[in-house]
Structure 1
């Protein structure tokens, strides 16, 4: 099936990139619809995944991705027993279901909390924290997701002995 020229151009950008940073505000516990639409159109079957070409055997194997996002809430509002629940759980559809699924090595995200309500000084501190996060990406271990080597030909977990 032919790919529209604008999508082909975006696919070429993904092919060129070693690291893709998805920078966005969290809307309704997820990414904005326009960003999800970009992923739906660019991370296409055959190029990014297909059959058993998923996770560490996905089409984007060898490339990395990271989320950098802002939230309206404060840090204490996210976590076990917190009002909004665990941020890691909220992000699983993106981190695992979109990024890791297509073979990307997923680096630890950067979260900027309470952004719409902070002072210019606090905003400068957030930006400095983001700068430090980016400068230390090489030292940060990636997040762990399934390895196809741990599953049999039917995608069932291999039995573990011992």
Structure 2
């Protein structure tokens, strides 16, 4: 049996044809998936700007408050932060601040869509405060470094921490 006869007998075999068709579909899907992943990486790298603020940063707390006041006013996913203050007379005042909860928040600010993601790592602790390590990450489309500077400056002015 020559090579020509082997190829013609395989092309007439319906099982071989079906298997070869499935292989082609699988290979095509793998190529499309890899292309999509590479495209998303390139898109994020060249068309998105990200700002990460760790919980150790001095601006972390007032940025959370700023997000609640300015950006995520309509969010229904909040955390509460209770603060006590005792004055010289012994009177204790209590203040409750609502801050964005852990997760993703989307809002429109300064002519751009912002995604704010607050993450908490349970296995890593902030040694200064003994609390879980947290980050807030701002993401926007395009080159928005100035937008992030504006947010930080506005937060300093309005919430005082300057």
TM-score normalised by the chain length of structure 1: 0.22
More strand by share: 2
